[in-house]
C-alpha cells in the first residue's frame, strides 16, 4: 500500500505542476511526424512490435476503448460523488445525479469511438480495390468491401485512416482530463476510499502509458503519414470538441471538477 501511495503521489504531483494536460496533444503530433519520418527513411529496427499479433496489440489496443471505459467507470463514479460530498455542493440525491451526468461522458466517448471507426471503414471500402492472386486467365472479380476481399484471400488497397492513432490519442487525452478531479479532491490518508482511488488512478496512468507507447509503435511501423496524421487529428479534435468546448456548457456531461473553470483548478488532494 505504501508503494501504491508513493506512486500515486508522484503522479499527482505531475498533474499539480500542470504537465498532465498541456503537452500531450503536441507530443502526440510530434510522435506522428517523427515516427513517420523514421519509417519512411527505413531507420526503424525490426522488433516484435511490427507484428500485429504482439500481445500489447492483441490484448490491449484491439480493445482499447473497453479498457478505458471499464477503468474510468468506477473512477468517475467514486471521485465525482466524493468531490460533491466533500465540498458540500449537493445533497445525496443531487450528488447521484451529478455522478450520472459525469458518467454520460463515457456514453459520449462510446459514440465518438463507434461513429469514427465506422466512418473510417466506410472510407476504406469506398476508396479501395481488391488484389487477388488468381490466375491471369481468370476474369477479375470485383468486391464491394474489405471483408469480402479477405474472405477470398485478397488484399484490399484503400485509404485506411489509422484507427489506432485516433483511438489511442482520444483515450489517452480523455483519461488525463478525468484524473484532473484529484486536483480538487480531499480524502483522509488512512481511508479505504483513498486506497481504491489510488489503485484506479495508478492503473489509469499506466494504461495511458501503454496507449502512448502503442501510439508510437503505430507511428513507427504502420500506415502512411497522411493516414496517421488524419487519425491523430480526429482524435485530438474529438478531445478538444468535448473537454475544451462542449463540456464547458451547462447542457453537457460537464468537466471532472463540477462548477470550477479550468483556469481556477487547484491541486488539493490531501496527503
β-bridge mates for residue 157, sequence order: 129
Q: Among candidates 77, 90, 231, 95, which has minimal Cα distance to 160?
A: 231
Q: Among candidates 123, 128, 102, 103, which has minimal Cα distance to 166?
A: 123
Q: Which three cell numbers stand for residue 143?
A: 468486391
Residues 6+ apart with CB under 8 A from 180: 15, 20, 21, 256, 257, 265
Active site (catalytic) residues: 164, 223
Alpha-carbon distance of 46 to 154, in angstroms, equals 26
User: If DSSP codes are grouped into helix, strand and coil, which group holds residue 129?
Assistant: strand
Angle at 165 between CA 161 and CA 169, to 5 degrees: 140
Amino acid at each position: 500500500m505504501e508503494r501504491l501511495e508513493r506512486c500515486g503521489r508522484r503522479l499527482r504531483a505531475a498533474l499539480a505542476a500542470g504537465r498532465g494536460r498541456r503537452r500531450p496533444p503536441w507530443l502526440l503530433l510530434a510522435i506522428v511526424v517523427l515516427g513517420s519520418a523514421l519509417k519512411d527513411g527505413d531507420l526503424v529496427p525490426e522488433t516484435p512490435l511490427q507484428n500485429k499479433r504482439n500481445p500489447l496489440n492483441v490484448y490491449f489496443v484491439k480493445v482499447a476503448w473497453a479498457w478505458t471505459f471499464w477503468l474510468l467507470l468506477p473512477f468517475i463514479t467514486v471521485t465525482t460523488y466524493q468531490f460533491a460530498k466533500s465540498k458540500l455542493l449537493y445533497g445525496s440525491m443531487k450528488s447521484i445525479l451529478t455522478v450520472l451526468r459525469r458518467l454520460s461522458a463515457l456514453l459520449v466517448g462510446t459514440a465518438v469511438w463507434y461513429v469514427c471507426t465506422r466512418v473510417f471503414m466506410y472510407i476504406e471500402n469506398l476508396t479501395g480495390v481488391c488484389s487477388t492472386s488468381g490466375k491471369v486467365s481468370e476474369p477479375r472479380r470485383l468486391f464491394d468491401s474489405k471483408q469480402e476481399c479477405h474472405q477470398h484471400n485478397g488484399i484490399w488497397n484503400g485509404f485506411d485512416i489509422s484507427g489506432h492513432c485516433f483511438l489511442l490519442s482520444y483515450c489517452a487525452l480523455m483519461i488525463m482530463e478525468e484524473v484532473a478531479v484529484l486536483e480538487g479532491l480531499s480524502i483522509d490518508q488512512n481511508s479505504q476510499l483513498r486506497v481504491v482511488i489510488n489503485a484506479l488512478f495508478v492503473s489509469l496512468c499506466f494504461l495511458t502509458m501503454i496507449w502512448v507507447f502503442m501510439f508510437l509503435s503505430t507511428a513507427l511501423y504502420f500506415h502512411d503519414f497522411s493516414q496517421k496524421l488524419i487519425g491523430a487529428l480526429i482524435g485530438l479534435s474529438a478531445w478538444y470538441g468535448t473537454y475544451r468546448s462542449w463540456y464547458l456548457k451547462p447542457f453537457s456531461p460537464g468537466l471532472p471538477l463540477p462548477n470550477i473553470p479550468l483556469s481556477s483548478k487547484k491541486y488539493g488532494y490531501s496527503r
